[in-house]
Structure 1
Amino acid sequence: MYNPRKPQYTLFTVREATELLPFVMKALDGISRSKAKAILSGGGVRVDRRNVSQHDFPLTVGMKVEISKQKQRFHFQSKYLKIVYEDAQIIVIEKNIGILSMASTQGQLCVKSILDDYFHKTRQKCAAHVVHRLDRDTSGLLVYGKTMEAEQILEHNWRQIVTDRRYIALASGRMEQKKGSVESWLKDNKAYITYSSPTDNGGKYALTHFRTLRTTDRYSLVELKLETGRKNQIRVHLQDLKHPVCGDIKYGNGDDPIGRLCLHAFRLDFYHPITNEHLHFETAVPKAFLSVFRSESSEKTAD
């Protein structure tokens, strides 16, 4: 849903090099830092006719900055995703379950098509360029390039640019180990089932670190950090540990307490492909994951 607004902008010209947040504070007669941040996050600032929300966006002499004190022009709402961060080059979203990151068939609704529609209706001359993916039934954080330059830098330098990727999983059974690592080689068979081997089977090497956050006799809440980003890596590695992801119809054991694949990409840290700023994004553990522990009387918290 898009609710159009027509805010009035005031035009300013940059007279000396600075960053966007202090510029907005000074331009609007010394408004508070929190108010300036609200204007930025609300889509109320354009630099050289492009919406920018990055607080430390570098301004150089001669740039044109347009500022509106009104709330953002378009209120974006979708049951499939919410926008976490956006600037001229990238957009970070939190994806819900039930939708693909990109279409597998022509005309299919997916995160990319929703974002492209949003860009069109907000008159941004850009498109959502896929950098990485989450499975249809995995929720969590994704970054898309808004320009080909940003997409190419992210894609070709992904391992150097991304400094931290973490997931939360609700796993079946009591995880006895408080922390550890799983390494194996992953390879698909002809039916596209990913198999794990402790020795090189011609597949791709995969390494996952895990930490048990909470556990009962029936379920464990596990944080997982990826060193490699292989297809189905977490799902297969938790299967290797004999504690598969709850709700996993492909690699699970039938344990499905909340009617969904219980895997959520909750943290994503990376260097901005254009500005090189280090960005950190984190979302809350899905409430449904925590709900299963409320009914468990034998709960204990892992150290």
Structure 2
Amino acid sequence: MILHEDREILVVVKPAGLLTVGTDRDKTRTAHYLLNDYVRKGDPKSRNRVYVVHRLDQDTSGVLLFAKSEEAKKFLQEHWASTDKVYLAIVHGHLTAKEGTISTSLVENAAQRVYSTPDAARGKLSTTEYRVLQEARGLSLVEIHLLTGRKHQIRVHFAEKGHPVVGDKKYGTGDTVSKRLALHARALTFVHPFNGRTLTFDTGMPEEFLRLIGK
């Protein structure tokens, strides 16, 4: 679903299960491919295209920002550290500290599994701010401000605290509470690369989350 489009940017809501960009096995069922097709309006010779600014995991839904020129992509990526990224997650259990910051060095092994390492020289510093919004049915709805955007960062940080994200087949406990990963990129606030205005796009809470946690 397209939230916003102008000459420089395209903001969409990516559904859970859709890749952001192609892999060796799957090059066409991706947000990048579908949006390239959209801006070319069916003309394969069109020079129009979209540029990837950031990515969401395949199983994560939410706000995804694309640029429509190299210049816009460069600007957005250079200012990415100051872009405000808000996520919602439903995790197992009730956290002792209802708000806080998780900061570890993350590293990825050969099996593409990410984990925290005490060796700061080996890992990349990764920081996640969180606040519990609601607790019900042995689950917690958590609002997250992503201060760094490492691969699988939120999933690893909460799993290592003993509160894996619901539906996480990689870092979770094999739960069957939800068929989908209960992680959603709710909102994005950034400076427009052309007019300098600060834009915010907020998608609210997915219906599946309401069903899991209750109204």
Helix, strand or coil for the counterpart of 1:269? strand
CA distance in 1, matches of 2:60, 2:75: 25
Matched, 1:103 2:22: yes
- RMSD over equivalenced CA pairs, Å: 1.8
The aligned runs of 1:162-177 (5 Å cut-off) are 162=83, 164-177=84-97
- Conserved? CA contact 1:248–1:261, under 8 Å: yes
Helix, strand or coil for the counterpart of 1:256? coil
Higher-Rg member (1/2): 1
- 1:183 CA displacement: 0.4
- 1:197 CA displacement: 2.7
Match of 1:185 in 2: 105
- Conserved? CA contact 2:11–2:65, under 8 Å: yes
CA distance in 2, matches of 1:107, 1:223: 32
TM-score normalised by structure 2 residue count? 0.92
TM-score normalised by structure 1 residue count? 0.66
- 1:293 CA displacement: 3.0
Matched, 1:92 2:92: no
- 1:97 CA displacement: 0.9
CA distance in 1, matches of 2:165, 2:31: 24
Residue identity opposite 2:22 in structure 1: A
Deviations 1:82-129 (A, max 9, x none): 000110000000000111111113742210111111112287852110
Deviations 1:146-172 (A, max 9, x none): 111111222233214x1x101000101
CA distance in 1, matches of 2:11, 2:141: 25
Q: Which runs of 5+ in 1 are unaligned?
A: 1-81, 296-303
Match of 2:74 in 1: 152
Residue identity opposite 1:150 in structure 2: A
- Conserved? CA contact 1:175–1:215, under 8 Å: no
Matched, 1:256 2:152: no
CA distance in 1, matches of 2:122, 2:27: 36
116, 128, 147: which one aligns with 1:208: 128
- Conserved? CA contact 1:183–1:198, under 8 Å: no
Residue identity opposite 1:91 in structure 2: L
Ranked by relative contact order (alpha carbons within 8 Å, sequence separation 6 or more), the top structure is 2
216, 220, 230: which one aligns with 2:140: 220
Q: Percent identity?
A: 40
